[in-house]
Amino acid sequence: MSRPQHFKAARLRLIPAAIGLGAVVALAGCSAGQVTETDTQVAAVNGGSGDLNKIAIRNATFIFPTSGARYPAGSSAPVQLVLTNEGPDDKLVQVSSPYANSATLGGITELPSRTALHATGGSAQVQQAETTADREVQITLNGFKQDIGPGVTVPVTFVFEKAGAVTVQVPIGPDHSPRAEHGSPMPGTEQHSGH
């Protein structure tokens, strides 16, 4: 075989290899969107947060409604959140929202330095740490002026005796209860969390 024929034969052998490599790269690009981080995550509702001096409000949400997926106008909704205080002793003295006619505060409202208060929404949820059982506040917004559904955030203002006021955007939290009206899944229809 002459030298020019040898180069031509070598080039012809490289063409299928190049096409094959191109196909592998193209297919890899196509599958890149198939296994994403969000593909394996459960949707989460992030609660509202706010900071005021050394007081922090974290993961503020309304308890998911017991019937339906929204709070109708005129209804009340308990709030769940965590309040922490890294500053001087303080006290939660008022909660209000332009979306509600009033708010009620119950339980412990004192927030001494280097402590936390938990609002569990007054449900039967059990706290993980025994130390929070006696550090619980109840916060309920009463008489909503409009329907509050998923995706709606409600501005809620928390007023502290010394630190002042901070407004936090509060959404409806996730539904953690089994949905009785759907019953149990039919055989063969269970959903699996894998691919």
**pLDDT tens digits for range 5-42:** 666 665 566 665 556 655 555 555 554 444 444 443 44
Q: Which residues contact 47 (CB under 8 A, 6 or more apart)?
A: 58, 59, 60, 61, 80, 81, 170, 171, 173
* Domains of the chain and CATH, by start: 48-170 (2.60.40.1890)
Say how far residue 6 (Cα) sits from the centre of its chain: 65
For the chain, what is the mean pLDDT? 77
The yes-or-no verdict on residue 3 having pLDDT over 50 is yes
How far is CA 158 from each of CA 6, 53, 165, rounded to the nearest angstrom?
Answer: 83, 13, 6
79, 156 Cβ separation under 8 angstroms: yes
Alpha helices, DSSP H only, in the chain? Answer: 3-31
For residue range 153-190, list pLDDT tens digits in order. Answer: 999 999 999 999 999 999 999 887 665 554 545 444 44
Give CA–CA dist 85/88, Å, rounded: 8
Phi and psi at residue 176, to the nearest 5°: -100, -5
